[in-house]
Amino acid sequence: MPTHRMKTYSGESGCVYQYYFLESQERKRWWNRIGTAFLFHVTSDRKQFFVVEVLVEDRALQAWERAHGRALVETEQYAAAKMRLFQAFDESSSPDKISDVRVGESNIDLLLEPLGLTD
């Protein structure tokens, strides 16, 4: 069984989270692909773990490509998901309250801006 590297993040909410990446999965609605779900195992007490899904919407990736002249590679898509996960940590006081976490057209630029991907 593979060992996961547990990471720690101190949220602005005051809660300290531990998490690790599980996997990514394609998400579809009917027959159309809508994005990629990045799944993270998350805890704030080392006892109860929750799976938090961060959906990186295809429309967000297309909007970013139009605005910046290139597509995001897979590791950059993962970075967008992780930045959105951190934002969710900052906004929530408990992992079981985190839901509907998305990278969409409205937030992808703000999430990736600190990473300097447009330089």
Instruction: Indicate whether 27 pLDDT > 80.
Output: yes
pLDDT in the model for residue 23: 95
At 87 the pLDDT is: 96
Predicted local distance difference test score (pLDDT) of residue 39 = 97
Residue 92 confidence (pLDDT):
87
Question: Over the stretch 38-75, which tens digit does the pLDDT of each residue have?
Answer: 999 999 998 999 999 999 999 999 999 999 999 999 99
| β-pair partners for 109 | none
The pTM for the full model equals 0.90
Band of the pLDDT at 101, cuts 50, 70, 90?
very high
Question: Is the distance from CB of 86 to CB of 78 less than 8 angstroms?
Answer: no
pLDDT at 2: 62
**How far apart are alpha carbons 48 and 12 in whole angstroms?**
21
